[in-house]
Amino acid sequence: MVKVLAYCFLALLPICQSACADIFDELAPAAVVCVGKDAPDAERQAANLIVEALRKKSGSVRLLTDEELMATPASESGKWHVIVVGGQLINSVLLTYPSYWALDREIHYAPLGNMPGAPFTETRGFYVGGFGYFFAGHDVGFVEFDRSPFYGDLLLSLPPEQKASCEAAPPLRFLIRVTGSSPNGVLLGAKRFVETRMLYGLALGPPRWPRPRDLWNLDDEYTKPDPPTWIPKGTYSPSGSTDKNVAISYLGWLMADRAMYAGFLELTGCKQVQMWRAKYKTEAGLLDFNRSPHHRASGNELLVVRLSSPEEIQNALKNLGAAATITVSGRTCYRTAGVRASARDGMDTVEKPNLPANVAIARVAQTGKERAAPLTEDSAPAYILPATIAGEHYLILANFDDDYAEVLLSEIVRSTSTR
């Protein structure tokens, strides 16, 4: 979680970097891929694609049918990261544990004759919260991380003394949904998950219709590009660390949704060209949901915002409350004002509000008023780095413990210094 900067940092020493890391290193040792017993060929191909990629990391990866998974006791399935592949009516796990954010409108609403409460709304096609509505017949893949319901069942089955001990609880486990509007859409989602390590977002197939960017939709243009290649994708140790096990590692990236675009525009007055979210883990692992790859989690994250000009960068910095300046590897960074260090004590294992951290602190800095809930160390990006890379203009917001924010931003400065 993010600690408040109470002092100016010294110039960084060289940092250590190992081989590239990603979410498959985290998942593979305890991964199970689940596909529908009667899944069509495209969905089976999607499941096999994920299995093959995971088995490059660990030979213990298993492929189960939905019936086999549902018949497994929680004492066993609760110890797995479960990757569920398929359509909403083909895979019974997805039918039992549906996403809160995606649905096939025809399945849910056409039998009713109209959309409840909004009869003027189209009832066909695929809808994903934060990205909007896609026409019927459009191949759309969707990838989403969530807490595993099997893990929740496992926790409920623990003896009272183990339930009361955070140290004795089993490690956090996830349900990863790889679904879509059609079997081909599911395959598109699986390919993007495997090939780019997209942890949350869409994969679109042809034809593409540019939808208007409004309150409910994100234009298709914003759901296609992958993140910049210079986002750190390795394992990094803070300068001065004497423990070789102290490090931060890349997991993957999340597609920014309509709420993120709207929130940044509202707070800064600056219209983004593109946004991405990169997620990491420390040597402590994924111990709480706020640091996880779920899209509602804001801890251990780089928010990368591409803007149209240097003037927009300066306007955004001003409106985000970028107060103090700090030097990181010879470059000027900023930190936001208004965060109280005392509020972080004792909060390590407590879930925080889902308001994105960069939005929460910006609102405080902008209005001068605290939220009703106490500010915690997760309420702010510790650093904001403005950068022009290959002629494009970025704001990079880092929400980490101080040392980890410092080491990642230094890696960005190092790797882009010649671009």
Does residue 147 register a pLDDT over 60? yes
More confident residue, 27 or 112: 27
Residue type, 91: N
In whole angstroms, what is the distance from residue 256 CA to residue 276 CA? 5
Q: What pLDDT score was predicted for residue 370?
A: 34
For 28, list phi and psi in degrees, rounded to 5.
Answer: -55, -45
Percentage of the chain with pLDDT > 90?
51
Residues recorded for the chain = 419
In this structure, what token pair is assigned to residue 393? 């203009």
**Burial of 106: CB neighbours in 10 Å, binned 0-12, 13-18, 19+:** middle
* Neighbour tally for 160: CB within 10 Å: 7
| 114-118, 135-139, 343-347: which is most confident | 135-139
Max avg pLDDT among 143-152, 366-375, 376-385? 143-152
- Is residue 196 within 8 Å of residue 226, measured between CB atoms? yes
In this prediction, residue 198 carries a pLDDT of: 97
Q: How many helices (H) and strands (E) does the chain have?
A: 13, 18
Q: State yes or no: pLDDT of 299 exceeds 50.
A: yes
Instruction: Report whether pLDDT(376) > 50.
Output: no
Q: Pick 270 or 7 by higher pLDDT.
A: 270
**Alpha carbon distance, N-terminus to C-terminus of the chain:** 31
Q: How far apart are CA 65 and CA 264, in angstroms?
A: 42
**DSSP for residue 417:** T
Task: Please report where in the chains the tokens 């882009």 appear, as a residue.
Answer: 416
pLDDT of residue 23: 95
Q: Which three-class secondary structure state does DSSP give residue 146?
A: strand
Tokens coding 131: 């990205």
Please say if the pLDDT value at position 156 is more than 80. Answer: yes
For residues 395 and 313, the answer to whether their CB atoms sit within 8 Å is: yes
Q: Is the pLDDT confidence value at 396 over 80?
A: yes
Is the pLDDT at 6 greater than 70? The verdict is no
Predicted confidence (pLDDT) per residue in 41-52, tens digit: 999 999 999 999
User: Beta strands 331-336 and 322-328: pairing type?
Assistant: antiparallel
Q: 59: which residues sit within 8 A by CB, 6+ positions away?
A: none
Q: How confident is the model at residue 209 (pLDDT cuts 50, 70, 90)?
A: confident
Cβ atoms of 403 and 5 within 8 Å: the answer is no
Query: 53-67, 110-124, 364-378 — which is least confidently predicted?
Result: 364-378
Residues 64 and 13 sit within 8 Å (Cβ to Cβ): no
**DSSP assignment, residue 50?**
H
Query: CA 205, CA 208: separation in Å to the nearest integer?
Result: 7
According to the model, what pLDDT value does residue 202 have?
Answer: 96
What is the pLDDT averaged over residues 92-113? Answer: 84
Q: Are 291 and 299 in contact (CB under 8 A)?
A: yes
Of 359 and 23, the structure prediction assigns the larger pLDDT to 23
Residue 11 pLDDT > 60, yes or no? Answer: no
When mean pLDDT is compared across 8-17, 117-126, 327-336, 381-390, the lowest value belongs to 8-17
CA distance 371 to 36: 45
The chain-wide mean pLDDT, for the chain, equals 81
Kindly state the percentage of the chain with pLDDT values over 70: 79
pLDDT tens string 230-261: 999 999 988 767 677 789 999 999 999 998 99
Q: How confident is the model at residue 117 (pLDDT cuts 50, 70, 90)?
A: low
Per-residue pLDDT, 115 = 59
* E-only strand ranges, 149-268: 174-180, 198-204, 235-237, 248-255
pLDDT-derived band at 364 (thresholds 50, 70, 90) equals: very low
DSSP assignments along 122-134, one per residue: --SSEEETTTEEE
pLDDT for position 227:
95
Mean pLDDT of 56-80: 96
Distance CA 235, CA 232 (A): 8
Asked if residue 290 lies in contact with residue 148, where contact means CB atoms within 8 angstroms, the answer is no
**DSSP string of 304-351?**
EEEES-HHHHHHHHHHTTEEEEEEETTEEEEEES---GGGGTT-TTS-
The CA distance from 233 to 1, in Å, is: 20
Non-local (6+) Cβ contacts of 67 within 8 A are 37, 92
More confidently predicted of 281 and 323:
281
